[in-house]
């Protein structure tokens, strides 16, 4: 397998395209792509695969010795480092094959893309195993945005690996051309306060990203647009300068006629809320050791943001993203800073966020005065409480949550806390202190006995080093008739700390 490496050193730039329209696309040259299909990777360990031949086989072995001769196996070979061990061991020499075939539909000749399951343990399409279908149907039509997965065997039976894209299938014209030109927009990941979040892929390097759409009608009136536009550019410039392994990276910003598009790094492991919900469904709770590893990373990210003058103010499990499905993984804080950009009032005087995670001074003040970074300390305390016990600290059947929060009334003596150390409870008590002036500060949390854990810190540093090395390269695979591949190396910066800025409350 031969590779041609080329460093990508172009800086990320803003694209301000306020007059974006479909007319621009009609003026572009309609060149056919060199490939008829592409598999975009949903995992950072995988690479995009350009489908050039009419048949491409994907598996874990190029050749297999049968008697005295070698039988050709996969055209695209996945290595052990590409997949989790449990998944790799369940993959076949040729796991699946993708073919482009000519068919006749209503008397008209056309092409059709089909996927054939060649495996022992099954190929998954959109979460459904092909092996469970009728034996007479060994293939199915492959359509744009279909997700191809391998067997996993854990609580989740399949491991989503690739999304298939047919480049000749037009994307909705509602998506501006400046977006379609640079990114392959695929499935919807969810919806936020200001718009949808979609999974997109950089067409140049194949990297998955999460694209957040912010509708401009979120602004109160058109009169405010000009001043807020300048404010948006300024604030997003600050957010884009943020670089830390526990803070989500804003990689691109595009401004179109009706929306702002923010492109963020994609996290494969979903969010902490999903992780806690999965444990709850299994009648489990996170081990204290794992909760400590998670909390330490959240603390690292919050401390970094505070040093840059950024107060999050909406910390909650849904805003803590996980890098992978593994238990021990990197956590990153997201959704910081946008409220100030989009609100007509200053962020720190706006009552928002999920009530369960709001500090007493926020509930009490109802937006009448400015809050300090101590509101983030309180929210982290609630998150830690959830991780260690699996239950919310201020839950009540009467619905009077506000009163419980204002008085900082919570329980650390129920059976939910039987397996939790007193040192961990001491951290929660210091963080969930009613008076923000008496509440422990971020820098002091590190001095608590519970966090004096060399083994945990060593594990966190190990995760950071793995993240740093994985960010140093990714590749693009193109299959041709000789099975050779060309690779483009994409180098990302590590995690340098920007110089301290004057305190800002975003």
Active site residues: 314
Alpha-carbon span 2 to 340, nearest angstrom = 50
Helix or strand or coil: residue 158?
A: strand
Strand order in the sheet with 55-59: 76-77, 55-59, 96-105, 108-117, 139-141
User: Does residue 67 come out as left (phi exceeding 0), alpha (psi in the -120 to 50 range) or beta?
Assistant: left
* Closest-CA residue to 121 (of 153, 97, 164, 98): 153
Question: Cβ(488)–Cβ(8) under 8 Å?
Answer: yes
* Closest-CA residue to 342 (of 264, 229, 238, 196): 229
Which residues, other chains included, contact 217 with Cβ-Cβ below 8 Å and sequence gap of 6+? 258
Which residues, other chains included, contact 433 with Cβ-Cβ below 8 Å and sequence gap of 6+? 408, 439, 440
* Closest-CA residue to 450 (of 470, 424, 429, 416): 424
Name 262's bridge partners.
212, 253
Alpha-carbon span 105 to 141, nearest angstrom = 14
DSSP summary character for residue 78: P
Alpha-carbon span 284 to 281, nearest angstrom = 7
Question: Cβ(76)–Cβ(477) under 8 Å?
Answer: yes
Residue 182 assigned to a binding site: no
Alpha-carbon span 334 to 320, nearest angstrom = 6
Alpha-carbon span 169 to 502, nearest angstrom = 49
DSSP summary character for residue 333: E
User: Does residue 459 come out as left (phi exceeding 0), alpha (psi in the -120 to 50 range) or beta?
Assistant: alpha
The burial class, CB within 10 Å (0-12 / 13-18 / 19+), for 175 is buried
Helix or strand or coil: residue 161?
A: strand
Q: Which two tokens stand for residue 121?
A: 């343990």
Question: Cβ(439)–Cβ(431) under 8 Å?
Answer: yes
Question: Cβ(332)–Cβ(464) under 8 Å?
Answer: no
**Main-chain phi, psi angles of 16, to 5 degrees:** -105, 105
Q: Which residues are annotated as a binding site for ATP?
A: 216
Binding positions are 216
């Amino acid at each position: 397998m031969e590779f041609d490496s080329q460093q990508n050193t172009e800086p990320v730039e803003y694209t301000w395209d306020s007059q974006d329209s479909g007319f621009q696309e009609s003026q572009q040259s309609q060149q056919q792509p060199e490939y008829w299909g592409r598999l975009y990777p949903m995992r950072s360990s995988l690479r995009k695969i350009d489908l050039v031949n009419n048949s491409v086989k994907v598996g874990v072995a190029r050749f297999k010795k049968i008697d005295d001769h070698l039988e050709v196996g996969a055209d695209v070979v996945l290595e052990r480092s590409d997949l989790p061990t449990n998944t790799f061991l369940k993959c076949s020499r040729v796991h699946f094959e993708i073919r482009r075939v000519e068919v006749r539909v209503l008397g008209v000749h056309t092409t059709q893309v089909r996927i054939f399951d060649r495996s022992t343990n099954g190929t998954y399409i959109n979460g459904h195993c092909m092996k469970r279908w009728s034996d007479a149907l060994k293939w199915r039509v492959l359509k744009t945005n279909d997700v191809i997965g391998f067997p996993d065997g854990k609580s989740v039976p399949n491991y989503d690996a690739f999304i298939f894209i047919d480049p000749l299938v037009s994307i909705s014209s509602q998506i501006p051309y400046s977006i379609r030109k640079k990114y392959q927009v695929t499935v919807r990941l969810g919806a936020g306060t200001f718009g949808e979040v979609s999974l997109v892929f950089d067409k140049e390097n194949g990297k998955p990203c999460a694209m957040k759409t912010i509708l401009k009608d979120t602004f109160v009136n058109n009169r405010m647009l000009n001043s807020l536009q300048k404010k948006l550019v300024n604030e997003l410039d600050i957010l884009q300068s943020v670089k830390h392994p526990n803070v989500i990276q804003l990689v691109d910003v595009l401004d179109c006629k009706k929306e702002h598009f923010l492109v963020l790094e994609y996290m494969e492991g979903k969010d902490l809320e999903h992780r806690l919900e999965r444990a709850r469904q299994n009648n489990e709770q996170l081990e204290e050791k794992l909760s400590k590893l998670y909390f330490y990373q959240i603390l690292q990210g919050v401390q970094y943001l505070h040093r840059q003058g950024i107060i999050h103010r909406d910390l909650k499990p849904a805003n803590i993203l996980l890098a992978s499905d593994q238990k021990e993984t990197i956590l990153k804080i997201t959704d910081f800073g946008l409220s100030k950009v989009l609100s007509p009032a200053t962020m720190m005087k706006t009552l928002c966020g999920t009530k369960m995670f709001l500090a007493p001074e926020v509930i009490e003040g109802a937006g009448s005065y400015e809050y300090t970074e101590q509101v983030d300390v309180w929210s982290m305390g609630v998150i830690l409480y959830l991780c260690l016990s699996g239950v919310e600290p201020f839950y009540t059947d009467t619905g009077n949550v506000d009163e419980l929060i204002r008085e900082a009334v919570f329980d650390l003596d129920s059976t939910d806390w039987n397996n939790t150390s007193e040192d961990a409870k001491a951290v929660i008590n210091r963080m969930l202190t009613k008076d923000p002036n008496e509440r422990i500060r971020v820098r002091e949390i590190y001095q608590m006995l519970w966090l004096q854990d060399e083994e945990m810190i060593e594990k966190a540093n190990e995760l950071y080093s793995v993240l740093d090395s994985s960010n140093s390269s990714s590749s693009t695979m193109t299959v041709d008739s000789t099975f050779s591949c060309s690779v483009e190396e994409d180098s990302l910066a590590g995690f340098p700390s920007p110089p301290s800025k004057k305190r800002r409350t975003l």
